[in-house]
Chain A
Amino acid sequence: MKPRPFDYMCPETVDEALALLAEHGEDARILAGGQTLIAMLNLRVVEAPVLIDITRIRELDAIRELDGTVEVGATVTQNRLLQLPSLAEKLPLLHAVLPFVGHFQTRNKGTVCGSIAHADPASEIPLALALLGGQVTLRSQKGARILSASEFQQGMLLTARAPDELITAVRFPIVNVRVAFREVARRHGDFAIVAIAAAAENRENIRIGIAGMADRPAVRSFQVDGAASLQHAIERLAWELEGYDDIHASARMRRDLLRRLGPIVVEEARQQCAA
């Protein structure tokens, strides 16, 4: 289908964009990569009287290192981050998850910050941001604020962004961990049914992040003391998170996927640590 009519505005600076957001607020939608937004407009599941196209704001197009993080600007595409030469070394988790985000053709246009803004509970980039304890930087005419991933993502497609705020960047901490990632999806490139990431500081201290089990990514830290304790911890987590029924899978199938895949992913991360 075709989108309903909307007013189109194409600011060239962040200040211009913030003025437009202050004026139009709840009526406005930010257009960056458009790989979800334009699809939803075409399907008419989203109403947007005003579209603010930020893709020509040059100051938002940067990837830079800042205070031990990699800061990714609002218009940086998923493929551009994936092609960063130092990505595997600095952000191995992003290097692992980005190939699962959509397809080559959608990653060419889809942005890193757009995935964060959309806040799909089964989406890989919000999972990576949550597991690494990253941050989201927001600006409005009233000022700037920086929220942690867990403060930002508040539920299914629900975030702490105010209607007059623009996500200007996200920050992924550069941490010395070994990581592993796996997901189950109907087809490669689809949203995951369940996605699991693990980050191991060493063979004992593990953080696990799970998407597709609750209304937002779940992150837990635990100590691994042998295979039985690992299985036990994952088992408890499966019941705690419960999972949910939708067209793709039942809650029971989601719990089963976590039970079976969780220990494998954690082991893959642990195996990379020195004994």
Chain B
Amino acid sequence: MRRVSKSEHARVSLTLNGRKASGQAEPRMLLSDFLRHVLGATGTHVGCEHGVCGCCTVLIDGTAVRSCLTLAIQAEGREVTTVEALAGPDGKLSPLQQAFQNNHALQCGFCTPGILMSFTDFLARHPHPSEAEIVDVLSGHLCRCTGYAGIVSAVLEATSRQAKSS
């Protein structure tokens, strides 16, 4: 059984975007802060820090979750995927990211990484969602530029492209 006292720093090892990564964390360190401050993966944004805004959404073992409502130490041994993994090594945008660009689905872009990660999980499970289902998933995110219509269009475009290519 793992026990870490409050004043201790523990080594947390995980797989980040396909590569082994590790660093030191106190028990109270949130996964969002561990990713940004310890591992330097600043693509994940932190908005409200109590699970409401959705900016910090990442995938843990393929499932979209709030990294601000997860302790870094809970990610021990897990596969964490962040927005940095979506584009190809040559910088080519993923179909979902390209659809966001085509549809002007971001203005300031602060909320975008979380939204991309939510739909990366959701579309993997539901490749052909209805507009209502897309809106339902999007309700787990806040966009203070209020560009929701563009985001819905982008996800619809991404799913219709997937339909064409499959």
Interface residues of A (CB under 8 A from B): 1-12, 16, 31, 34-35, 38-39, 41-43, 49, 51, 53, 55, 99, 102-106, 108-109, 187-189
Contacts and interface: CB of A to CB of B under 8 A. Distances in A.
Interface stretch (B13-21, B68-76, B152-160): B68-76
A1 B47 CA distance: 11
A184 B116 CA distance: 29
Contact of A105 (B3, B28, B64): B64
Given A104-B122, A108-B64, A4 B69 contact: no
B27 A51 contact: yes
**Interface residue tally on B, bucketed by range:** 35 or more
Given A34-B69, A104-B118, A8 B27 contact: yes
A187 B139 contact: yes
Interface stretch (B4-12, B83-91, B93-101, B102-110): B4-12
Contacts of A6: 6, 27-28
Contacts of B10: 8
A16 B3 CA distance: 12
A53 B28 CA distance: 12
Given A5-B26, A31-B74, 6 more contacts: A2-B33, A7-B6, A11-B1, A31-B71, A49-B6, A189-B139
B62 to A, nearest CB: 10
Interface in B25-48: 26-30, 33
Contacts of B1: 9-12, 16
A103 B137 CA distance: 7
Contacts of B63: 108-109
B161 interface: no
Nearest to A9: B3
B64 A34 contact: no
A82 B66 CA distance: 19
A9 B27 CA distance: 9
A6 B29 CA distance: 10
Contacts of B28: 2-6, 41
Contacts of B51: 35, 38-39, 106
Interface of A: prevailing SS: loop
A194 B128 CA distance: 33
Interface of B: 1-7, 10, 26-30, 33, 49-51, 54, 57, 63-66, 68-71, 73-74, 118, 121-122, 136-137, 139-140
Contact of A8 (B3, B136, B140): B3
Contacts of A49: 6
A242 B5 CA distance: 47
B160 to A, nearest CB: 21
Contacts of A31: 71, 74
Contacts of A10: 1-3, 73
Given A103-B139, A103-B140, A189-B140, A7 B5 contact: yes
A5 B4 CA distance: 11
A21 to B, nearest CB: 13
B48 to A, nearest CB: 9
Contacts of A3: 28, 30
Nearest to B26: A5
Contacts of A53: 71, 74
Contacts of A39: 50-51, 69
Contact of B70 (A4, A5, A8, A109): A109
A42 B50 contact: yes
A204 B71 CA distance: 50
Contacts of A9: 1-4
A11 B3 CA distance: 9
12 contacts: A1-B49, A2-B28, A2-B49, A7-B27, A8-B73, A9-B3, A35-B69, A41-B28, A106-B69, A108-B64, A109-B63, A109-B69
A106 B68 contact: no
Contacts of B137: 103-105
A171 B105 CA distance: 44
B30 A42 contact: yes
